[in-house]
Amino acid sequence: MKRRDFIKTGAVGAAATTFAAPAIAQDKRQWTMVTAWPKNLPGPGVAAQTLADRITTLSGGRLEVKLYAAGEIVPGPGVFDAVSEGTADLYHAVPAYWGSKSKGILLFGSQPFGLRADEQVGWMIHGGGQELYDEMYGRFGVKPFLCGNSGPQWFGWFREEIKSADDLKGMKYRSTGLASEMCSELGMAVQAMSGSKMFQALQSGALDAGEFIGPWTDAALGFHQIAKNYYWPGVGEPSSAEECGVNLAAYEELPEDLKQVVKTACDALYNDVWTEYETKHARALTKLVEEEGVMPRKLPDDVVNELGKAAETVIGTLREDDDELVRRIAESFVAYRDSIGRYMVYADNGQMNARARVLGY
């Protein structure tokens, strides 16, 4: 798929009020989904459409979901408010975009030096995360569900090589969420923007570097045309959860079986999305290296160490936040991270390191 095929955005139409309430007839409902993504953007744009179709199918057509991409009804950054206010019924986006609502929200999406995709689900189901997720989003009239994950993200695309942490100071860099706060601690000039705007900013020189997701999505957006140094590991986002937010009043109005349809559609999509990202990231990276001259580069150890110190500073501020709920979310996250992290040294980390060593990866 070519970049120009999906970065087009529609006008923000005055027709938004047309979708202020779901149509209900003969026990059939029509819901409007708004997304933070261009139509069919590889990764999140495709996943959003899959979720809309899956809810419609699993409900036997009783809950029909029609998707509108970023800019067709509301701009991408406006989808949370549109659902909160009832202009739309549900959205597909990532928690990293809603830090202005509450810093506590950011922990449900990705955390610097934090949880992998499977660990994120573990926290939600077995570590008390979902209850805290519901409590936080309930403040805004939204019922949240995780519905996908990108897996490990990359540190991003750089015009110049990084030799030390000093090279990062003053660098104009695109990132989001808590990763942006971590990078700011090191003196980087961090900006949040969409993938298409990141391409334009790199092209014009308004950005020196930036991260978006990973090889599959990044290749489609064309970042490799401008910067060839592709840095890993993406310690700012060891995983990045995608979410579906549903207008709480609309959700509570549903009969119990349709509530289960929405939950089941989101739950079932998580692994499908995560494993698709991982599979297609691997294939895309091979092509980027072999055909496009991209150079994967490992961040120097001293840079990773300095980023780690900055990450702990950021998490520390959440543990001391004025909002009691934010403090509870942060403490819950840290307790789960440390428990599962110590175990993974022996389990998954040990297995993967042994495989790489023996097979010569």
Does position 13 have pLDDT exceeding 50, yes or no?
no
d(CA 241, CA 47): 12
Q: What is the pLDDT of residues 42-78, one digit of tens each?
A: 999 999 999 999 999 999 999 999 999 999 999 999 9
Residues for the chain: how many in total?
361
Binding residues for substrate are: 153, 174, 211, 237
SS3 category, 14 = helix
Which residues belong to the annotated binding site for Na(+)?
212
Helix axes 129-138, 117-126, angle to 10 degrees: 80
pLDDT at residue number 16: 39
Residue 155 φ/ψ, nearest 5 degrees: -75, -20
3-state secondary structure of 156: strand
Is residue 25 within a helix (H) or strand (E), and if so which, with residue range?
strand 23-25
C-alpha distances (whole Å) from 219 to each of 5, 152, 228, 234, 341 are: 13, 16, 11, 16, 31
Which residues define the annotated binding site? Answer: 153, 174, 211-212, 237
CB atoms within 10 A of CB 73: 26
pLDDT at 253: 98
Helix (H, G, I), strand (E, B) or coil at 167: helix
Start-end of H helices in the chain: 44-58, 79-85, 103-106, 117-126, 129-138, 177-185, 195-204, 215-221, 248-253, 256-292, 301-319, 324-344, 348-359
Following CA atoms 116, 121, 127, 131 in sequence, which dihedral angle do they give, to the nearest 10 degrees? 130
Whether the CB-CB separation of 102 and 108 falls below 8 Å is answered with no
Res 26: pLDDT: 64
DSSP string, 87-109: SSSEEEE-GGGGTTT-HHHHTTT
pLDDT digits (tens, 9 = 90+) for 200-218: 999 999 999 999 999 999 9
**27, pLDDT greater than 90:** no
The confidence band for 25, taking pLDDT boundaries of 50, 70 and 90, is: low
Going along the chain from its start, the domains and CATH numbers come out as 3-151+239-279 (3.40.190.170)
**pLDDT tens track for 317-352:** 999 999 999 999 999 999 999 999 999 999 999 999
Torsional class of 154: left (φ above 0), alpha (ψ -120 to 50), beta (otherwise): beta
pLDDT in tens, 268-320: 999 999 999 999 999 999 999 999 999 999 999 999 999 999 999 999 999 99
Q: Residue 62: what pLDDT? A: 98
Compute the mean pLDDT over every residue in the chain, rounded to the nearest whole number.
93
Is residue 198 over pLDDT 70? yes
- The percent of residues above 90 in pLDDT, for the chain, comes to 93
pTM of the model: 0.91
Nearest to 61 by CA among 312, 258, 309: 258
User: How many CB atoms neighbour CB 176 within 10 A?
Assistant: 24
pLDDT of 24 > 90? The answer is no
Per-residue pLDDT band for 122 (boundaries 50, 70, 90) equals very high
User: Which uninterrupted H or E stretch holds 242?
Assistant: strand 241-247
Question: With bands split at pLDDT 50, 70 and 90, how would you rate the model's confidence at 174?
Answer: very high
Kindly tell me if the per-residue pLDDT of 236 is higher than 70: yes
Contact criterion met (CB below 8 Å) for 277 and 151: yes
